[in-house]
């Protein structure tokens, strides 16, 4: 409401839009919150912008509050915190819940993409796809997804959450091709292609294919030995 009274448009709250185009970012650091100091023969050093104190926006923009928080305060929320903060805003809530579902509840809304791991970036894309629909139609786009080791760096519980999300996408009619070494994911696949017999130059050959139960019976697959025990335990 306060934003509308001031005549601010959505671009006002984007740190990618310059002031001359109606943006409200801090021009001293161009919305980065940091300033780069060139060290010539050493790596550049980044220090907090003294103009905005790292908040990325100018004073006028930071004066606009939503539920007691400025745009900088909102971007500093974790995904878990945002789920509670936006509980009465269905559109935003749907997306942040999807981020939480893929095990990204710990990242901040304003976290720079350059600080994300490859696995985190892939899961953000998955969450985006999940958020496009709602209810029974969530993620129902009949799309082919190719994921390269999305479980990298994940805790066991987060792997479980990721598998649940992958199953949701598959149940909605999508196809997923996942390159993975994590047996908790491998055992849930509908169909496996096990490449080997070794890694690097010693691999590249399909040594086993089929359902997890079928691959577990292979005598030429290293994966089969471990998969057999995993399936027996579950």
Q: What is the CATH superfamily name and number for domain 1-76?
A: ABC transporter ATPase  like domain (1.20.1580.10)
**pLDDT number for residue 40:** 84
**pLDDT number for residue 133:** 61
Backbone angles phi, psi at 172, to 5 degrees: -85, 5
Half-sphere exposure of 172 (CA within 13 A, CB side): 25
Residues β-bridged to residue 145 = 176
Average per-residue pLDDT in the chain?
91
Query: Among residues of the chain, what percentage have pLDDT more than 90?
Result: 69
Work out the pLDDT band at 11, boundaries 50, 70, 90.
very high
Sorted by sequence, the CB contacts under 8 Å of residue 187 that are 6+ apart come out as 212, 227, 230, 231, 234
- CATH architecture observed for domain 77-181: 3-Layer(aba) Sandwich (3.40)
Distances (CA, A) of 43 to 35, 49, 54, 71, 174: 14, 18, 21, 31, 44
Residue ranges covered by each domain of the chain: 1-76, 77-181, 191-234
| CA angle at 85 for the pair 64 and 127, rounded to the nearest 5° | 110
- Give the residue among 224, 190, 185, 184 at the shortest CA–CA distance from 207: 224
Q: Are 66 and 93 in contact (CB under 8 A)?
A: no
- Tell whether the model's pLDDT for residue 227 goes beyond 60: yes
Query: Tens of pLDDT along 93-143?
Result: 999 999 998 889 999 999 999 899 888 898 899 899 888 864 444 445 688
Determine the average pLDDT of the residues in 180-205.
93
Determine the average pLDDT of the residues in 197-215.
93
Residues β-bridged to residue 43 = none
**pLDDT number for residue 47:** 96
Distance of CA 189 to the CA centre of its chain: 22
**pLDDT number for residue 152:** 84
Q: What is the DSSP string of the chain?
A: -HHHHTT--GGGG-TTS-GGGT--B-TTTTTSSEEEEEETTEEEEEEE-TTTTT--B-HHHHT--BTTB-HHHHHTSBHHHHHHHTTT-HHHHHHHHHHHHTT-TTSBTT--GGGS-HHHHHHHHHHHHHHTS-GGGTT-S--EEEEE-TTTT--HHHHHHHHHHHHHHHHTT-EEEEE---HHHHTT-SSEEEEESSSGGG--EEEEEESHHHHTT-SS-HHHHHHHHHHHH-
Instruction: Give the span between the Cα atoms of 228 and 223, in whole angstroms.
Output: 9
The whole-model pTM stands at 0.77
């Amino acid at each position: 409401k306060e934003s509308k009274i001031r005549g601010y448009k959505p671009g006002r709250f984007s740190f990618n839009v310059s002031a001359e185009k109606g943006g409200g970012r801090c021009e001293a650091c161009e919305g980065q919150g940091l300033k780069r100091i060139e060290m010539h023969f050493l790596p550049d050093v980044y220090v907090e912008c003294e103009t905005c104190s790292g908040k990325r926006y100018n004073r006028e923009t930071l004066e606009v509050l939503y539920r007691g928080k400025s745009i900088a305060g909102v971007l500093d929320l974790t995904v878990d915190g945002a789920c509670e903060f936006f509980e009465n805003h269905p559109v935003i809530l749907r997306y942040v819940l999807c981020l939480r579902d893929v095990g990204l509840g710990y990242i901040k809304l304003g976290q720079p993409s350059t600080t994300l791991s490859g696995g985190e970036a892939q899961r953000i894309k998955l969450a985006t796809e999940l958020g496009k629909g709602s209810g029974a139609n969530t993620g129902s786009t009949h799309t082919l997804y190719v994921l390269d080791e999305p479980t990298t760096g994940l805790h066991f519980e987060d792997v479980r959450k990721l598998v649940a999300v992958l199953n949701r996408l598959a149940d909605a009619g999508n196809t997923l091709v996942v390159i993975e070494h994590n047996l908790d994911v491998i055992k849930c696949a509908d169909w496996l292609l096990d490449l080997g017999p070794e890694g690097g130059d010693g691999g590249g050959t399909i040594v086993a294919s089929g359902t997890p139960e079928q691959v577990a019976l292979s005598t030429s697959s290293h994966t089969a030995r471990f998969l057999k025990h995993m399936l027996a335990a579950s």
